[in-house]
Amino acid sequence: MFQRLIILALLVGCAKEDARGPKSDGEVVVPPDSECTVVSHEMEEPAPGWLFDVPEDVDDLYDITIDATEEEWVKFEIYDQIYRNWQYGDKEGKKPKSPTICATMTIENVKTGTVVGTSEGIGLALKGKLDNSYRGPNDNPYLKIDLAHSVEGATLDGMSDFRLYNHGQDLSGIQRYLGYKIWRDDYNDGLNAYPAPRAGFATLNLNGQSLGIYGTNETIKEEFVRRWFDIGDIMINNLYEGEYGTDFMLSGCSGSDDDGPCFMNIEVEAGPGAADDAALEVAIEKIRPMVVEIDDHRTQQDGMCGALNRQIPGASNMDLDKFMTFFALETVIGAREGYSYLTNNYFMFDAPSEDGSEGNYVLIPWGFDQVLHDDKSPDFAGAVIPMGIIEDQECKARFDQELATVIAQIDWQAVYDDAVNTTAFFDAAETNSLGIHEPADVESMRSDILAFIKNRCETLSKVYLDEPESLCPAVSR
């Protein structure tokens, strides 16, 4: 303990400034990202998708072991103190960002003796928000793994980084996993797939402590859009990220961190706009012509569908067909914390045309730890585009047709069976991250999810679409 306090004091004393600028003497600051001295990346990977394939036997899961030195880990503890003070204080400025520390990661299957390999000098960062998935560094942390932090070009299953999810909000352990599979249409071999990240499970051993089953989650980055949109070696267009309160409006944005128009709060994850602040400003301004069309839709006779169908010279517009599917899928899985209902948890990619120029914006989902248990109706949409669709009779008819198509395409029996099997999969494990929740809450959520999956098609068919019968076969228990 004495040694830890000395390290803490030294780090606080040495870190006189960070990304937010110089700090006054005596103020605790977020430590800078670490530069790793021991670096290597030796991985012999199985077939593509191996990190997200879920085996029948829980013992066949891959085991991920991560170790960091005490000197590195204490940086997380400093950050944790700063973040909690910010969260429960006056929240001055933006949310503090976790430092990236150096760690070593080994991936193997202990049961079969299969060793994938070891990566030394990976970057490790804390993720999540307090009161949901953030739990601090020493209490089942939600982690980001950056393979290319020290080794340029290092990847794992085609990713330069991925997440290890602690199920901080997903009480069932299966919502994130099932939700993304529905979007990717994995139950029909991807026949009607929509761009969505891969998710699976692994067991995690962190600094000598077994934390049991964690979620593995693909991040939405350059590698993701290159794969989904079949982009070759050309530079990708901008990949934007929208967090809570970011909508395609010129004004009137509640929850904004500044007084500017709502759409200007969007960030750029990858592409030209990620280079620096000046490039970010240019990237945000590229959205403005589309936002003007959307913002004016109520005063135009052709409504929201007309606004999104309109060709904008020299600029991209929202891909209306893709958005109809996006809105339908968020509705189907009850994505109450997604774009359509809470203007939250989404990415937007400027998908290129065949010649590589700007094409159409496509929204990509994120944050599926609160799905498959909330009977959201499209009438309760809270974002400007879906509200405009529902308000426009002709546009709404087009959406209703897409919703009917989407719910009929889903193999609800396969989703139900997968939910039952994955629940049993968790229960068979000696340790899993669901232990952070009360057992009664876990069982209640699981029961709600199974009931939701069993009844969702019939509910949307009869109650919202006013069909005389369900558009899907009945789900048997």
Tell me whether residue 26 is in a domain: yes
CA-to-CA dists, residue 474 to 13, 324, 388, 467, 471, angstroms: 64, 26, 33, 15, 9
Asked if residue 68 is part of any domain, the answer here is yes
The answer to whether 305 and 394 are in contact (CB under 8 A) is: yes
Distances in Å between the Cα of 244 and the Cα atoms of 256, 343, 377, 443 are 8, 6, 20, 29
Give the pLDDT of residue 7. Answer: 39
DSSP 397-433: HHHHHHHHHHHHHS-HHHHHHHHHHHHHHHHTSSSBG
H helix intervals, 333-392: 339-342, 384-391
pLDDT tens digit sequence for 78-104 = 999 999 999 998 888 888 999 999 999
- Answer whether residue 23 is part of any domain: yes
Domain annotation covers residue 374: yes
Query: Is 409 a residue whose pLDDT tops 60?
Result: yes
* Proportion of the chain above pLDDT 70, given as a percent: 91
Q: Is the pLDDT of residue 34 over 70?
A: yes
Mean of all residue pLDDT scores within the chain:
88
Residue 207 belongs to some domain of the structure:
no
Same domain, 154 and 278: no
Whether 19 shows a pLDDT value over 50: the answer reads no
Least confidently predicted of 17-26, 248-257, 386-395: 17-26
Sign of CA dihedral 52, 58, 60, 66: positive
Least confident piece of the model among 73-77, 117-121, 260-264, 400-404: 260-264
- Residue 204 falls inside a structural domain: no
Judgement on whether residues 143 and 271 belong to the same structural domain of the protein: no
Backbone phi, then psi, for 215, in 5-degree steps? -85, 140
- Tokens standing for residue 15: 């870190």
**φ and ψ at 451, to 5 degrees?**
-65, -40
Where do the H-state alpha helices sit in 168-276?
Answer: 175-184, 222-228
The residue among 358 and 349 whose pLDDT is bigger is 349
| Residue 260, pLDDT above cutoff 70 | no
For β-strands 21-22 and 17-18, DSSP reports them as antiparallel
Residues 412 and 279 in one domain: yes
Cβ atoms within 10 Å of 188's Cβ, excluding its own: 13
Same domain, 297 and 399: yes
Tokens of 344: 């939250």
Q: Which of 111, 135, 166 marks a domain boundary?
A: 166
pLDDT for position 253: 53
Q: What is the pLDDT of residues 114-126, one digit of tens each?
A: 889 999 999 999 9
Parent domain of 405: 233-477
pLDDT at res. 413:
97
* Nearest alpha-carbon partner for 292 in 259, 327, 249: 249
Whether 136 and 255 map to the same domain: the answer is no
229-253 as b/e: b if 16+ CB within 10 A? eebeeeebbbbbbbbeebbbbbeeb
437 and 308 part of one domain:
yes
Residue 195 lies in a domain: no
The region of weakest confidence among 46-55, 159-168, 405-414, 457-466 is: 46-55
Question: Which stretches of 302-383 are assigned E, i.e. beta strand?
Answer: 317-318, 346-351, 360-365
Q: Which stretch of DSSP H or E encloses residue 107?
A: strand 101-109
CA distance 152 to 381: 42
Rg (CA), the chain: 23
User: How would residue 272 be classed by pLDDT, with cut points 50, 70 and 90?
Assistant: very high
- Quick one: which of 183, 269, 289 has its CA closest to 219? 269
End-to-end, the C-alpha distance of the chain in Å comes to 54
Residue 2, pLDDT > 50, answer no
| pLDDT higher than threshold 90 for residue 112 | no
Distance between CA 210 and CA 262 in Å, rounded?
43
What's the number of domains the chain is made of? Answer: 2
Question: Which amino acid would we find at residue 72?
Answer: E
Residues 162, 298, single domain; the answer is: no
SS3 119: strand
Could you tell me the pLDDT band of residue 357, with boundaries at 50, 70 and 90?
low
The yes-or-no verdict on residue 134 having pLDDT over 90 is yes
Among 143, 166, 189, the domain boundary falls at 166
Q: How many residues does the chain have?
A: 477
Q: Which two tokens stand for residue 442?
A: 């876990």
Q: Which of 138, 166, 194 is the last residue of a domain?
A: 166
Would the pLDDT of 35 be above 90?
yes
The per-residue pLDDT for range 186-226, each reduced to its tens digit, is 998 888 999 999 999 999 999 999 999 999 999 999 999 99
423 within domain boundaries: yes
Q: Answer yes or no: do 162 and 238 share one domain.
A: no
Task: Categorize the per-residue pLDDT at 109 as very low, low, confident or very high, splitting at 50, 70 and 90.
Answer: confident
pLDDT at 32: 96
Residues 138, 267, single domain; the answer is no
Say whether both 152 and 238 belong to one domain.
no
Mean pLDDT of 172-199: 94
Q: Hey, what amino acid is at 144? A: K
> What is the Cα 286 distance to its own chain's centre?
24
